[in-house]
Chains A and B, each alone.
Chain A
C-alpha cells in the first residue's frame, strides 16, 4: 500500500491556460474526494466520487472545473482558463468508507 499519490506535486501556469491534476487512491478504496486549500485556511471540499460516479459537487466547483474518475480507480481534476484566484493546494483523499487518507497535494501557482 503506497498511499494516495498525486501528480504533479507543483504546477506553475499562466493565467488562461488549462491544467490537469491526477490522483491515484489507495487500491480498493471506492471513495475519492478532492479538496482545495488556500494559504492560512483548512481544506475545503470540492467534489466526491463513489467508484466512477460523481455524487456530490461543492458550490466552489465552478463550471471551469471538471473532475472524472472513469474506471473507478484514478481521478483527474481539470481547471480550464485558469485565474490567479485558482492558486492553491489541491488535495485528494480516498476512503473505504469513513476515514479519509490524504495525498501530498498538488500546489498550483497561476501567474
Chain B
C-alpha cells in the first residue's frame, strides 16, 4: 500500500465540521503536517504536530494524532466555502512524503 493514505473526496455543508483522515505506515517522522492547495496554486502550510503530541488546536483547526494506529486527522470547525481545496497530509523524512490529497467541497 501507499506510505501515506487519505480518502480522496469529502463533501460538507457550510457551517458543519469537516474531518479529513490520514493513515501512514512509517512512525519514524518527527513532524506530521497538513497543507492546503487551491487550484493552480502551491501548498499552503495549515498546521503541523510533533510526533510526541496527541492533539493540537489552532483557531478552527484541530489535529489529532493516534500514534498507535498511525492515524492523523484534521478537523475544520464551521467550514466555509473558502475552505474548499485539496488537503494534503504529509510526514517528514528530511523531505516530505505526501498522500494523494483529499478534495474538500463545501456546499452553501
Contacts and interface: CB of A to CB of B under 8 A. Distances in A.
Contact of A99 (B31, B44, B88, B95): B31
Which of A48, A56, A102 has the most B CB atoms < 10 Å from its CB? A102
- How extensive is the interface on chain A, given as a class? 20 to 34
B53 interface: no
Given A40-B100, A107-B40, A33 B95 contact: yes
Interface in A25-68: 33, 35, 40-45, 48, 56, 58
A108 interface: no
Interface in B16-52: 30-31, 33, 35, 40-45, 48
A43 B48 CA distance: 17
Given A40-B100, A41-B100, A42-B100, A102 B95 contact: no
B58 to A, nearest CB: 14
B97 A45 contact: yes
B72 to A, nearest CB: 14
B77 interface: no
Contact of A91 (B40, B42, B97, B99): B42
A105 B42 contact: yes
Contact of B96 (A40, A41, A43): A43
- How extensive is the interface on chain B, given as a class? 20 to 34
Nearest to A105: B42
Given A42-B98, A48-B94, A99 B40 contact: no
B31 A42 contact: no
A45 B44 CA distance: 17
B77 to A, nearest CB: 23
A88 B14 CA distance: 32
Nearest to B103: A40
Contacts of B30: 98
A77 B43 CA distance: 19
Interface of B: 4, 30-31, 33, 35, 40-45, 48, 88, 90, 92, 94-101
